[in-house]
Structure 1
Amino acid sequence: MTAEPNFVLDLTLALGTSAMGGYIAHRLKQPALLGYLLTGLIIGPFGFGLQTDVEQIQALAEVGIAFLLFALGVEFSLTELKRVRAIALQGSVLQIGLTTLLVASVSLLSGSAQTPLQGIFLGLVLSLSSTAVVLKTLTERGETSTVHGQVMLGLLIAQDLALGLMLALLPVLNQPDAVGLALGLALLKILGFLAGAIALGRWVVPRLIQHIAATESSELFLLTVVALCLGVAWVTSKLGLSIAMGAFVAGLMISEIDYADQALGKILPLRDTFACLFFASIGMLIDPTLILNNLSTILELVALIMVGKALVILPIVLGFGYSLNTAVKTSFGLNQIGEFSFVLALGGLEMGLITEQRYTLLLGTIAISLMLTPLWIALAPRVVDGLHRLPMLKDILNRAEEPKLLSVPSDLSDHVIVAGYGRVGEVLVNVLLSRGYSVLVVDNSETAVQRLRNRHVPLVPIPFVYGDADNELVLEKTRLETAKALAITLPDPATTRLVLQRALAKAPHLDIIARSHTNEEIDVLTQLGAREVVQPEFEAALELGSHLLNTLGEPPFDIQAVLTRIRDDRYRTIRPVAQVGEA
Structure 2
Amino acid sequence: MQEDFRLIVDLVSVLAAAAAGGLFAALLKQPVLLGYLAAGVIVGPTGLGLIKEIIQVETLAQFGVAFLLFALGVEFSFSELKKVKVISLGGGGLQIALTILVTTLVSLAMGWVTSPPQGVFLGGILSLSSTAVVLKCLMERNETSTPHGQVMLGILVVQDLALGLMLAVLPALDQPAEEVGLAIGWALLQTGLFALGAVAAGIWVIPRLLRLLAKTESRELFLLGVVALCLGIALLTEHLGLSIEMGAFVAGLMISDAEYADQTLTYVEPLRDIFASLFFASIGMLIDPVFLWNNLELILGLVTLVFIGKFLIVTPLVRIFRYPLKTALIAGLGLAQIGEFSFVLASEGQTLGLVSRRVYLLILGTTAVTLVVTPFVLRLVPKLFAWGESIPWLAKFLEQSDEPLAISEDLPIKDHFIVCGYGRIGRNIVRLLRDRNHPVLVIDQSESQIQKVRDAGIPYIYGNAASSYVLEKAGVAEAKGMAIALPDPMSTRLCVKRSLEISPDLDLVVRANKDKDIELLYQLGAREVVQPEFETSLELSAHLLAGIGIPSPAVQREVQMIRNSHYLEFRPDQASEEISRDLKAVTGEMNSRWYALPEESPLLGMSIEETDIRRLTGVSVMAIRRAGGLTIDYPESLTTLEQGDRLLIVGETDEVAAFDQLARGEAAVPSTNSSCQWLQVPSESPLIGKTLLELELQQRYKITIQTIRRDGKLIRFPEPDAEIQNGDRLLLCGGFHALTQAQEALSPKTEVPLITTSIAEAES
Larger RCO (CA under 8 A, 6+ residues apart): 1
Q: Return closer, same or farther for 1:70/1:556 CA change in 2, 3 Å cut-off.
A: same
SS at match of 2:205: helix
TM score, norm. by length of structure 1: 0.93
Aligned to 2:23: 23
Amino acid at match of 1:44: G
Larger Rg belongs to: 2
Aligned to 2:339: 338
1:513 & 1:504 partners in 2: Cα distance? 12
Q: Return closer, same or farther for 1:17/1:436 CA change in 2, 3 Å cut-off.
A: farther
Aligned to 2:483: 487
Aligned to 2:264: 263
1:403 & 1:121 partners in 2: Cα distance? 41
Q: CA deviation at 1:8?
A: 2.5
Q: Return closer, same or farther for 1:279/1:561 CA change in 2, 3 Å cut-off.
A: farther
Q: Return closer, same or farther for 1:288/1:545 CA change in 2, 3 Å cut-off.
A: farther
- Contact 2:411 2:441 (8 Å CA) reproduced: no
Deviations 1:375-422 (A, max 9, x none): 222233443454455433444444444224212646521222211111
Q: Return closer, same or farther for 1:62/1:549 CA change in 2, 3 Å cut-off.
A: farther
Deviations 1:479-537 (A, max 9, x none): 11111232221111121122222222222332332222223322332332223322333
Aligned to 1:190: 191
1:558 & 1:21 partners in 2: Cα distance? 52
Deviations 1:75-118 (A, max 9, x none): 22212212211221121221111111222222222222222222
State yes or no: 1:513 paired with 2:509. yes
1:332 & 1:500 partners in 2: Cα distance? 26
Q: CA deviation at 1:561?
A: 4.1
Uncovered stretches (5+) of structure 1, i.e. residues with no partner: 456-460
Aligned to 2:325: 324
Aligned to 1:531: 527
Q: Return closer, same or farther for 1:109/1:230 CA change in 2, 3 Å cut-off.
A: same
- Contact 2:213 2:221 (8 Å CA) reproduced: yes
Moved more, 195-204 or 63-72: 195-204
Q: CA deviation at 1:550?
A: 4.3
Q: CA deviation at 1:579?
A: 6.9
2:6 & 2:551 partners in 1: Cα distance? 61
Aligned to 1:452: 453
Uncovered stretches (5+) of structure 2, i.e. residues with no partner: 580-764
Q: Return closer, same or farther for 1:71/1:405 CA change in 2, 3 Å cut-off.
A: same
Aligned to 2:442: 441
Q: Return closer, same or farther for 1:471/1:550 CA change in 2, 3 Å cut-off.
A: same
TM score, norm. by length of structure 2: 0.72
- Contact 1:212 1:221 (8 Å CA) reproduced: yes
Q: 1 or 2, which has the higher helix percentage?
A: 1
SS at match of 2:159: helix
Which of 556, 569, 574 matches 2:570? 574
Aligned to 1:407: 408
- Contact 1:328 1:384 (8 Å CA) reproduced: no
Moved more, 492-501 or 383-392: 383-392
Amino acid at match of 1:25: A
Q: Return closer, same or farther for 1:86/1:579 CA change in 2, 3 Å cut-off.
A: farther
Q: CA deviation at 1:206?
A: 2.3
Q: CA deviation at 1:361?
A: 1.5
Aligned to 1:477: 473
Q: Return closer, same or farther for 1:30/1:133 CA change in 2, 3 Å cut-off.
A: same
Aligned to 1:353: 354
Q: Return closer, same or farther for 1:205/1:411 CA change in 2, 3 Å cut-off.
A: closer
Map 1:200-279 to 2 at 5 A: 200-279=201-280
1:196 & 1:32 partners in 2: Cα distance? 38
1:9 & 1:554 partners in 2: Cα distance? 60
Q: Return closer, same or farther for 1:388/1:219 CA change in 2, 3 Å cut-off.
A: same
Which of 477, 498, 503 matches 2:494? 498
Aligned to 1:138: 138
Q: CA deviation at 1:26?
A: 3.4
1:101 & 1:64 partners in 2: Cα distance? 32
Q: Return closer, same or farther for 1:281/1:402 CA change in 2, 3 Å cut-off.
A: same
Aligned to 1:464: 460
Q: Return closer, same or farther for 1:411/1:88 CA change in 2, 3 Å cut-off.
A: closer
1:453 & 1:137 partners in 2: Cα distance? 34
Map 1:23-102 to 2 at 5 A: 23-102=23-102
SS at match of 1:107: helix
Q: CA deviation at 1:168?
A: 0.8
SS at match of 1:185: helix
- Contact 1:417 1:441 (8 Å CA) reproduced: yes
- Contact 2:207 2:258 (8 Å CA) reproduced: yes
Moved more, 190-199 or 472-481: 190-199
Q: Return closer, same or farther for 1:546/1:269 CA change in 2, 3 Å cut-off.
A: farther
Q: Return closer, same or farther for 1:532/1:36 CA change in 2, 3 Å cut-off.
A: farther
2:319 & 2:259 partners in 1: Cα distance? 37
2:474 & 2:231 partners in 1: Cα distance? 49
SS at match of 1:76: helix
1:411 & 1:524 partners in 2: Cα distance? 31
Aligned to 2:12: 12
* Aligned residue pairs, count: 577
Q: CA deviation at 1:44?
A: 2.5
Aligned to 1:175: 175
